[in-house]
Structure 1
Amino acid sequence: MKYIVILIIVLYCSVNTFAQLNPQSKQITQKFFPEIETLENTTPALQKNKGFTDYDDLMLFLNNLVEQHPENIKLNFIGKSQKGYQIPLVLLATQNTKEKIKVWMQGGLHGNEPASTEGMLYLLDKLLNDSKYTYLLDDIDLAIVPMANIDGYLKQDRYAANGLDLNRDQTKLMAPESVSLKQAFSDFNPEIGLDFHEYRPYRKDFTQLSDFGITSLFDAMFLYSGNLNVPENIRTLTDTLFVENARRILDKNELKHHDYISTGKYGGEIHFNQGSTNA
């Protein structure tokens, strides 16, 4: 039986291009991420002094990659956003006879989490142009949707044009973007599915934990299924195979990680919840 592992990776937004998200974020970035200057300015937002990658930037960036690497990359469109923008799907592969793992990645499902989209573009550049990473395509067929919620992204809003949270529309499929993503995902039929998001450590709840009002600065947080209705073998496979290997690589590179948590108030008290325990 073929198992599909779905994992949401939540990234801390640390790139100083995103400084306008919080008036303190540039100072925080410089304090906690002094290595930020080592990032190569290869993606649209990293090349700007201000602002994020917009749709025109995105398409220019992707078309340039196709022109430079026609043998390794294909650009398709899986549908349109509610405001008529074509949703790009990037397919990366090398021509060899090896049996490969099929991996699906998507970013920008929440339109106000630009680190996810920018991370996808940075990854595309590395896989195609950096010899330290190009070998990965010998073992992986990769499908990437870098900007899944285009309408929300362009106005830096969490929701789609009809007000729906696309990350809560995985089963009802009430938004056309959800239908397009589901169909493209099914057509590609991956073994691994990765959905990239962003979290901000500044939250009102955390002001009661310290004067600074901040939680730990994790480089990545993992959200994967812990719901008991999911078969135990799939839950175990996800945790002990995929996530555990990712944890080891992060540890090796001295990066911080944690299972994803959220907070809520109940009876006036703050409760911390581990993600992905609901149906």
Structure 2
Amino acid sequence: MRAVRCARFAAVALLLAASGAWAQFDPARVHPEPPPVHARFAAPAMPFHTPAFDPWQIDFTSHAQMMARLQALVGRPSVHLEIVGESGQSRALPLVLLARGGRWQADKPTLMLVAHQHGNEPAPGEAILVLLERWSAPAYADLLRRVNVVVLPRANPDGAALFKRATAVGDIDMNRDHLLLRTPEARAVARVAARYRPQVVLDMHEFTAGERWVTRFGAWTKYDVLLQAATTGNLDAGVYQAGMDDFLPAIRRAVQAEGLSDFWYHTTTARPDAPVAMGGVQPDTWRNIGGLRNAVSILHETRGYGIGKQNLARRVQSHVVAAQALLEQVAQEGPALLEQARRADRAVAGQACKGQVVVAAQQTPEKRELTLIDAQTGEDRAVPVDWRSALKLQVTRQRPRPCGYWLAASEGAAVRTLRLLGVQVKPLASARSIRVERYDFKSIEAGQRQDGRGAIQDQGGIVKTQVDVQPLRRHLPAGGWYVSLAQPLAGLVTAALEPDSQSSYVAARLIAVPRPGEPDRLLRVMEPMGR
């Protein structure tokens, strides 16, 4: 009988593989938890019913299966489904709006969920299908009168189809592309964020359960959930504090009430001397870009990368519980959350020409004991580590905040990218004489972007520069562009245009470094430009 079942399973497997339904998830490459570790993670009592949980399906929910599930929700009164772009391989990028009558309500707060940016982190995508089914049911109609929910169920569908972290075209980590917008996937996220201006965003991922931890410590990760708010320079203090004081605690309470464990997000490499670092402090990830959009921005990761379908129900439960807690918190905050966002917009815009702007910052080194699970015994084991805290930023470079930036008429690519982000860029219709600071490039060399673990794999690397600024009065001809900092998205502007930031448009070669004798392409404007 067992042989018959195996033969049937093999036949189904061949059929699915031929049809592409499995994508490229390979169960043979899974590194399963040893029994003493696996016993620590009991499945939840409530079953889930996405395609990934079907007993005959080896792979996770395919793109076609996801789209079919979304289409099945369209008739419900609160659901609006649209396609907001295409991936590099021409897969649809769907958006689901849940709101009263399926229409966005401008006078209500908005929660935005982004899932599956990394194609080999499947639990968030499965959880989104569970949440959409739940939240679009009649029982949630009253709650959706008080809040809008904007959902991108699968931000990297090509990566999901290939079961790989990066995008298929360009092999780019789209979660490091939310300022540069090189990928169609990141551009779609930017358009949605600019259109709906969410007050709270949830970035849903999975983290490594074993692998590097086993190699280095002979132990597995312990926590079901790792959390972190936006942590980068130039964040609005009120928005940051709301995340730390209200929204992260709401998730922690909900997770713990379900018997799940949580801790600060952290990662490392297998190198024996590598630090254990919280999430990066650069303005490139969706978490940090969401914060610079003046939204409470939360990273939520579940313990799942590398273990295939092990603990999948528990991983999905963790995402569902966290998102549910955020939804209820957003609905509870209501008008106060909208006012907080308006206050942050005014505060950020009001800082133009004042104070200091952070150009570069790094995490703070600390010593910490980290609790892992011993691979042999399944018991807790504390290990001392060099910890890099993102809760305390060390500012390594800052300079006086300008009133705005001038871009030469030639810099259309940078202007288009800024506008995709939602930044206001105005053409300079008439010439004027004004105080500026020009960049004096002291050194220029090739380099790599860095995050908490080390170098980010990025095709072509970056241009690393060291600059001084030279004050002068400059005659600006008509035909260039002016990007004022007297606008709510000023934090995105400084991240993009200060050239010696590793995420800047100069670093990414979107704006070229002038050669000796060439005219400037980018200037800091040091007095209000006026009309």
Q: Secondary structure at the match of 2:159?
A: helix
Task: Compute the displacement of 1:225 (Å).
Answer: 2.1
* 2:159 pairs with one of 130, 138, 152: 152
* 1:223 pairs with one of 219, 222, 228: 228
In 2 relative to 1, CA 29–77 (structure 1 residues): closer, same or farther, beyond 3 Å? farther
* Partner AA of 1:81 in structure 2: S
Task: Compute the displacement of 1:200 (Å).
Answer: 2.6
Task: Compute the displacement of 1:220 (Å).
Answer: 1.6
8 Å contact from structure 2 (residues 110, 147) kept in 1: yes
1:91-147 per-residue CA deviation (whole Å, 9 max, x = no partner) reads: 11124999532111011111111111111111111212484x565423221011111
8 Å contact from structure 2 (residues 124, 205) kept in 1: yes
Question: After the TM superposition, which of the residue ranges 96-105 and 115-124 deviates more from structure 2?
Answer: 96-105
In 2 relative to 1, CA 209–25 (structure 1 residues): closer, same or farther, beyond 3 Å? closer
8 Å contact from structure 1 (residues 149, 177) kept in 2: yes
Q: How does 1:34-53 map to 2 (within 5 A)?
A: 34-36=42-44, 38-41=46-49, 43-49=50-56, 50-53=58-61
2: CA distance between counterparts of 1:103 and 1:80? Answer: 23
8 Å contact from structure 1 (residues 94, 138) kept in 2: yes
1:123 aligned residue: 131
Q: Secondary structure at the match of 2:274?
A: strand
8 Å contact from structure 1 (residues 225, 276) kept in 2: no
TM-score, normalised to structure 2's length? 0.44
* Partner AA of 1:251 in structure 2: Q
2:281 aligned residue: 277
8 Å contact from structure 2 (residues 110, 149) kept in 1: yes
2: CA distance between counterparts of 1:196 and 1:119? Answer: 10
8 Å contact from structure 1 (residues 111, 152) kept in 2: yes
Task: Compute the displacement of 1:269 (Å).
Answer: 1.3
1:134-179 per-residue CA deviation (whole Å, 9 max, x = no partner) reads: 6542322101111110111101011112211000001011111111
1:92 aligned residue: 98
* 1:254 pairs with one of 243, 256, 259: 259
Task: Compute the displacement of 1:234 (Å).
Answer: 2.7
2: CA distance between counterparts of 1:240 and 1:246? Answer: 11
1: CA distance between counterparts of 2:134 and 2:33? Answer: 26
- Alignment length, in residue pairs? 254
Q: How does 1:79-228 map to 2 (within 5 A)?
A: 79-95=85-101, 99-129=107-137, 131=139, 135-161=142-168, 162-210=170-218, 213-216=219-222, 218-228=223-233
8 Å contact from structure 1 (residues 19, 25) kept in 2: no
In 2 relative to 1, CA 232–52 (structure 1 residues): closer, same or farther, beyond 3 Å? same
Task: Compute the displacement of 1:236 (Å).
Answer: 1.5
Between structure 1 and structure 2, the one with the greater Rg is 2
TM-score, normalised to structure 1's length? 0.81
1:9 aligned residue: none
Is the aligned partner of 1:32 residue 2:36?
no
1: CA distance between counterparts of 2:130 and 2:224? Answer: 16
In 2 relative to 1, CA 47–241 (structure 1 residues): closer, same or farther, beyond 3 Å? same
8 Å contact from structure 2 (residues 83, 93) kept in 1: yes
1: CA distance between counterparts of 2:116 and 2:182? Answer: 18
Q: Secondary structure at the match of 1:143?
A: strand
Q: What CA RMSD, in Å, does the superposition of the two structures yield over aligned residues?
A: 2.7
2:79 aligned residue: 73
2: CA distance between counterparts of 1:177 and 1:52? Answer: 21
2: CA distance between counterparts of 1:63 and 1:26? Answer: 40
1: CA distance between counterparts of 2:231 and 2:91? Answer: 35
2: CA distance between counterparts of 1:100 and 1:51? Answer: 38
2: CA distance between counterparts of 1:198 and 1:78? Answer: 25
Task: Compute the displacement of 1:26 (Å).
Answer: 9.4
8 Å contact from structure 1 (residues 54, 154) kept in 2: yes
Task: Compute the displacement of 1:23 (Å).
Answer: 4.5
Q: Secondary structure at the match of 1:82?
A: coil
Q: Secondary structure at the match of 1:223?
A: strand
Q: Secondary structure at the match of 1:174?
A: coil
Higher relative contact order (CA 8 A, sep 6+): 1
8 Å contact from structure 1 (residues 265, 271) kept in 2: no
2: CA distance between counterparts of 1:29 and 1:127? Answer: 34
Give unpaired runs (5+ residues) of structure 2.
Answer: 1-24, 284-531
* Partner AA of 1:253 in structure 2: E
8 Å contact from structure 2 (residues 83, 95) kept in 1: yes
Identity %: 25
More strand by share: 2
2: CA distance between counterparts of 1:182 and 1:168? Answer: 13
1:263 aligned residue: 268
